[in-house]
């Protein structure tokens, strides 16, 4: 099930600033201007065989390369398909 979530303006500005620093350019390529503007879609799925516990928010991280989600918590690093690029969502 898809759900629209509102993206704060400061987060969109930060996204563009980080991209500019990473590229070492003050002028960004046009496709960067089409990043997350004001809303995005979120999906929910359950992770099978992932260990979870209480208070993991403080010691957790999540990242993505577009194809996979990488989830780090005190139990380990999980690589989970996003459903894009030929991956299976949640696997």
Q: Above pLDDT 70, what percent of the chain?
A: 66
The pTM of the full predicted model, rounded to 2 decimals, is: 0.49
Q: Which residue has the higher pLDDT, 15 or 57?
A: 15
Q: Which residue has the higher pLDDT, 23 or 31?
A: 23
| Mean pLDDT computed over 2-25 | 75
Domain coverage including residue 10: 1-44
Both 36 and 64 in one domain: the answer is no
Both 86 and 56 in one domain: the answer is yes
Which tokens belong to 13? 């500005």
Q: Pick the closest to residue 42 from 11, 86, 1, 83 (CA basis).
A: 1
Question: Could you report the per-residue pLDDT of 46-85, keeping only the tens digit for each?
Answer: 777 766 665 556 677 888 888 888 888 878 888 888 877 7
Give the chain's domain count.
2
Element (H, E) at 9: helix 9-23
Q: Would you list the DSSP string of 48-62?
A: TT----TT-STT-EE
Both 82 and 67 in one domain: the answer is yes
């Amino acid at each position: 099930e898809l759900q629209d979530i509102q993206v704060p303006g400061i987060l969109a500005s930060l996204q563009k600033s980080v991209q500019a620093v990473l590229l070492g350019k003050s002028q960004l390529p046009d496709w960067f201007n089409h990043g997350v503007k004001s809303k995005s879609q979120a999906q929910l799925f359950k992770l099978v065989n992932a260990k979870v516990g209480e208070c993991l928010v403080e010691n957790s991280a999540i990242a993505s390369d577009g194809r996979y989600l990488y989830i780090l918590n005190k139990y380990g690093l999980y690589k989970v398909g996003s459903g894009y690029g030929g991956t299976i969502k949640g696997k």
